[in-house]
Amino acid sequence: MIIIGEKINGSIPSMAKAIAEKNEEHIKNIAVAQANAGATFIDVCASVEPDKEVATLKWLIDLVQSVTDVPIAVDSPDPKVIAEALPFCKKPGLVNSISGDKVAGTDKDKIDFLLPIIADTKWEVIALLNGGTGIPKSAEDRLKVFDLLMAKAKEYKIAPSRFHIDPIIEALATIDEGGIGMVVEVMQEIKRREPTIHITGAVSNISFNLPGRKLVNQAFAVLAMNAGLDSAIFDPLNKDLLGMIYATEALLGNDEYCMEYIQGFRQGLYPAAPPAKK
Amino acid sequence: MIIIGEKINGSIPSMAKAIAEKNEEHIKNIAVAQANAGATFIDVCASVEPDKEVATLKWLIDLVQSVTDVPIAVDSPDPKVIAEALPFCKKPGLVNSISGDKVAGTDKDKIDFLLPIIADTKWEVIALLNGGTGIPKSAEDRLKVFDLLMAKAKEYKIAPSRFHIDPIIEALATIDEGGIGMVVEVMQEIKRREPTIHITGAVSNISFNLPGRKLVNQAFAVLAMNAGLDSAIFDPLNKDLLGMIYATEALLGNDEYCMEYIQGFRQGLYPAAPPAKK
């Protein structure tokens, strides 16, 4: 499982406070904690006023790189900011994210703006299946965006394995019928069309507006992994969710003799649970 | 989800003590608690010396029936004991269980011994896919036992919907490769062949000999439900597992607008979890 550690994000109140107060120790500690919990990428999102965003990203990226070698996921709603921030990174990481949305002040969408920039690099990229006219409602329409995206990938000679496709995880509470059937279908079909591609998503979106969100997030993570999700942005310090992910890898046959699951348990990555009764 | 409450079982040390001490209050309390947590059946297993088993079962069944109308799952390794205990029940419940194992002192297996007894009743039955020569190793061999069982069901005119097929859940730690792929295949194929049938199992078997069993049990329950499991023997007072099951029903589209999930939360059936961060 590719873990994109989500904690260095100015939209989280405690992180906004640390950014505002220039609390370098806090940010470095969070970076190290996520690296120790097995993060594959450390997401860095400033979430400050536009005129401060590039400088804040540089400061945050430098801080993270001063304490860990884990590559950065450069996270901004503005593709121009992403383009400016990529050179701050010592090694290729993950662009978060592209979609069919237009880039303000240009005639390009985020796909055509950012793919040429990373084409001849080793950067990976999160691509949302949003064609630029809002979130497509059907599996068919999301897969059309996917096909378009793969055509662009071919054009720019970017291997599918560098893409993390986000099929767009919506709140279960707002789905009329069929539960997560549609998004599962999208995941399975993408994996069928491009076996080397990664499938990612914001797992916790699923539980928006429901009580006991933790339960719904955990059960969803298991079902999504079963459908092909192999990358996700979440808090790796959430021991329950991390434990569920390791357990699922073992159940799905991706962890011979449960060695990684058992090792994670020994390292204290999950909550210490008593043996189940009977 | 059909919940078979597992707590009144003499193989659980605290229950063995209650049985030995004739602690009627304890047993009645456990029966009521399981009923309140939504048990569809209350399993009753004496697990005492053979010469005391029928009398102990009668005493336990009478106690349960004195406090709840939830039907009984009559649980014994000895089909003769089950046959003797069925008349103690005020209404049809669940026979736990039959298999291809031979019945001592007869030339019959458990299938041929018990199916005629319940043929003209409304009793349901748990059937293990064990053909009488140990646990079949391949999906193909388990499905052969299933086909044989369905032939017998036809012979005795018992509708498939009265069967809870236990595909036999083995410990993940002992599986060489492929994780739970084989048992998932068996579940899916059974549901394909007989859509009205129930699929059941002892969920907690999966985590035998692993640390953090709770995590593995929960993740497995989600994956098994996705494969067709709609019945299970477990402790309904285990709030984490029960919550995971309700969440999964909603995710799989079996709970319109998450109404049952939300109601269970209001009733306090699951752990009170804080909203997930971010």
Considering only the beta carbons, identify the residue of B210, B266, B278 that sits closest to A258. Answer: B210
B6 chain-A contacts, CB cut-off 8 A: 278
**Percent of the residues in chain A that have a pLDDT greater than 70, as a whole number:** 97
User: In the predicted model, is pLDDT for residue A107 greater than 90?
Assistant: yes
The strand pair at A41-45 and A72-75 is best described as parallel
Token pair for residue A206? 């699923």
Write the DSSP assignment of B249-272 as a string of letters: HHHTT-SGGGHHHHHHHHTT-S--
User: In the predicted model, is pLDDT for residue A275 greater than 70?
Assistant: no
B275 chain-A contacts, CB cut-off 8 A: 213
User: In the predicted model, is pLDDT for residue B4 greater than 80?
Assistant: yes
Which sign, positive or negative, has the C-alpha torsion B221, B222, B227, B231? positive
Pick the residue from chain B with its C-alpha nearest to A247.
B216
**Percent of the residues in chain B that have a pLDDT greater than 90, as a whole number:** 94
Which of A222, A255, A257, A265 should be substituted to probe chain B, the one whose Cβ sees the most B Cβ atoms within 10 Å?
A222
Which pLDDT score is estimated for B276?
43
Helix, strand, coil percent values for chain A (each to nearest 5): 50, 15, 35
Average pLDDT over residues B9-23: 98
Chain centroid, CA A183 distance in Å: 16
Closest CA to B118 of B79, B145, B144: B79
> Is B212 close to A9, i.e. CB distance below 8 A?
no
> Is B256 close to A177, i.e. CB distance below 8 A?
yes
Quote the longest CA-to-CA distance of chain B.
Answer: 64
Grouping H, G, I as helix, E, B as strand and the rest as coil, residue A96 is strand
How far does the CA of residue A217 sit from the closest CA of chain B (Å)?
8
Grouping H, G, I as helix, E, B as strand and the rest as coil, residue A52 is helix
Token pair for residue A190? 């993408």
B251 chain-A contacts, CB cut-off 8 A: 172, 179-180, 206, 216, 219-220, 223
With contact defined as beta carbons under 8 Å apart, do A253 and A227 qualify?
A: no
User: In the predicted model, is pLDDT for residue A278 greater than 80?
Assistant: no
Alpha-helical regions (H) of chain B: 13-20, 24-36, 50-67, 79-85, 110-118, 139-155, 181-193, 213-227, 239-251, 259-266
Q: For the sheet with B2-9, list strands across it.
A: B198-199, B163-166, B124-128, B94-98, B72-75, B41-45, B2-9, B231-234
Considering only the beta carbons, identify the residue of B211, B243, B252 that sits closest to A262. Answer: B211
Average pLDDT over residues A171-175: 94
Chain centroid, CA A225 distance in Å: 14
Which pLDDT score is estimated for B272?
65
Which pLDDT score is estimated for A176?
84
Which pLDDT score is estimated for A271?
83
A219 chain-B contacts, CB cut-off 8 A: 222, 244, 247-248, 251
Which of A169, A251, A259 should be substituted to probe chain B, the one whose Cβ sees the most B Cβ atoms within 10 Å?
A251
Average pLDDT over residues B249-268: 94
Average pLDDT over residues A108-123: 98
d(CA B189, CA B184): 9
Token pair for residue A72? 């950065």
Which pLDDT score is estimated for B26?
98
> Is B219 close to A12, i.e. CB distance below 8 A?
no
Which pLDDT score is estimated for B264?
94
B96-147 per-position pLDDT tens digit = 999 999 999 999 999 999 999 999 999 999 999 999 999 999 999 999 999 9
Quote the DSSP letter at residue A147. H
d(CA B271, CA B277): 17
Grouping H, G, I as helix, E, B as strand and the rest as coil, residue B93 is coil
Write the DSSP assignment of B131-171 as a string of letters: -SSS--SSHHHHHHHHHHHHHHHHHTT--GGGEEEE--PPP
Q: Which residues on neighbouring strands pair with residue A128, listed in sequence order?
A: A166
User: In the predicted model, is pLDDT for residue A4 greater than 90?
Assistant: yes
Mean per-residue pLDDT over chain A, rounded: 95
Q: Which residues on neighbouring strands pair with residue B45, listed in sequence order?
A: B9, B75
User: In the predicted model, is pLDDT for residue A158 greater than 50?
Assistant: yes
Pick the residue from chain A with its C-alpha nearest to B255.
A179
B140-196 per-position pLDDT tens digit = 999 999 999 999 999 999 999 999 999 999 999 999 889 999 999 999 999 999 999
Considering only the beta carbons, identify the residue of A178, A243, A250 that sits closest to B253. Answer: A178
A258 chain-B contacts, CB cut-off 8 A: 172-173, 210
> Is B276 close to A177, i.e. CB distance below 8 A?
no
**In the block, residue with structure tokens 């599918």:** A160
> Is B214 close to A276, i.e. CB distance below 8 A?
yes
The amino acid sitting at A198 is H
d(CA B216, CA A242): 12
How far does the CA of residue A124 sit from the closest CA of chain B (Å)?
24
Which pLDDT score is estimated for B275?
43
> Is B180 close to A251, i.e. CB distance below 8 A?
yes
A43 chain-B contacts, CB cut-off 8 A: none
Which pLDDT score is estimated for A274?
45
User: In the predicted model, is pLDDT for residue A93 greater than 60?
Assistant: yes
How far does the CA of residue A132 sit from the closest CA of chain B (Å)?
25
Other C-beta atoms closer than 10 Å to the C-beta of B61 total 22
B257 chain-A contacts, CB cut-off 8 A: 173
User: In the predicted model, is pLDDT for residue B274 greater than 70?
Assistant: no
CATH number for the region B2-266 comes to 3.20.20.20
Which pLDDT score is estimated for A79?
98
The amino acid sitting at B10 is G
Grouping H, G, I as helix, E, B as strand and the rest as coil, residue A45 is strand
The amino acid sitting at A90 is K
Which pLDDT score is estimated for B162?
98
How far does the CA of residue B30 sit from the closest CA of chain A (Å)?
15
Average pLDDT over residues A107-136: 96
A265 chain-B contacts, CB cut-off 8 A: 211-212
B173 chain-A contacts, CB cut-off 8 A: 257-258
Token pair for residue B10? 């003499």
Mean per-residue pLDDT over chain B, rounded: 95
The strand pair at B72-75 and B94-98 is best described as parallel
With contact defined as beta carbons under 8 Å apart, do B137 and B172 qualify?
A: no
User: In the predicted model, is pLDDT for residue B277 greater than 50?
Assistant: no
Confidence of residue A183 (pLDDT cuts 50, 70, 90): very high
Confidence of residue A273 (pLDDT cuts 50, 70, 90): low
User: In the predicted model, is pLDDT for residue B14 greater than 70?
Assistant: yes
Which pLDDT score is estimated for B278?
43
User: Domain extents for chain A?
Assistant: 2-266
d(CA A121, CA B118): 70
